[in-house]
């Protein structure tokens, strides 16, 4: 697999860097390559499917006190918006109304069949996660109870400065 999975010590170092703010943001690559495309290391395309699982996994860690809600919001919402100069990341007049609503009792184990990615697998199979019960983008409900509520093409390009 490319990138190769890392050691427990590597993970601990990353967590410490996130918590002490050496790492500014938590972000996800989303490279929905099939398992067949990932098998031979020398030819494996880099990246994993992750856009749909990053925040739910981090919410599980927050619920279990690995990271504070304040630090999580800063690392996933506020700081990326600040770095990329986007009108996002805060609930504020003039900003896009992008929100996730969570029920912290709604914990699930991740399985590929519950996700919407075209690749049909996830490296996070059986990880604990808390998925949003509702996702709102630009003030419109786009996902509710894991059901997509908008048509393809609803998404919007947010800027080319850093693309």
Question: Catalytic site residues?
Answer: 29
Contacts 24+ apart (CB under 8 A), 42-51: 44/1, 44/2, 45/2, 46/2, 46/3, 47/3, 48/1, 48/3, 48/122, 48/123, 49/115, 49/117, 49/119, 49/121, 49/122, 49/123, 50/123, 50/124, 51/117
Q: Please, what sign has the CA dihedral across residues 153, 159, 160, 163?
A: negative
- Tokens 């990615």 correspond to 117
- Cα separation of 150 and 156, whole Å? 13
130 and 120 Cβ atoms separated by less than 8 Å: no
Other Cβ atoms closer than 10 A to 83: 12
């Amino acid at each position: 697999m490319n990138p190769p999975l890392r050691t427990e010590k590597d993970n601990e170092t990353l967590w410490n860097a996130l918590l002490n703010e050496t790492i500014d943001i938590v972000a996800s690559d989303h490279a929905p390559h099939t398992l067949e495309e990932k098998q031979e290391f020398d030819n494996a395309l880099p990246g994993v499917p992750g856009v749909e699982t990053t925040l739910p996994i981090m919410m599980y860690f927050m619920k279990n006190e690995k990271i504070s809600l304040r630090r999580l919001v800063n690392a996933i919402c506020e700081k990326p918006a600040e770095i990329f100069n986007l009108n996002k990341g805060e609930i504020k007049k003039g900003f896009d109304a992008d929100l996730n609503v969570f029920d912290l009792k709604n914990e699930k184990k991740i399985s590929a069949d519950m996700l919407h990615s075209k690749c049909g697998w996830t490296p996070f199979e059986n990880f604990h996660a808390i998925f949003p019960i509702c996702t709102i983008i630009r003030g419109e409900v786009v996902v509710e109870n894991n059901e997509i509520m908008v048509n393809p093409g609803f998404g919007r390009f947010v800027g080319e400065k850093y693309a």
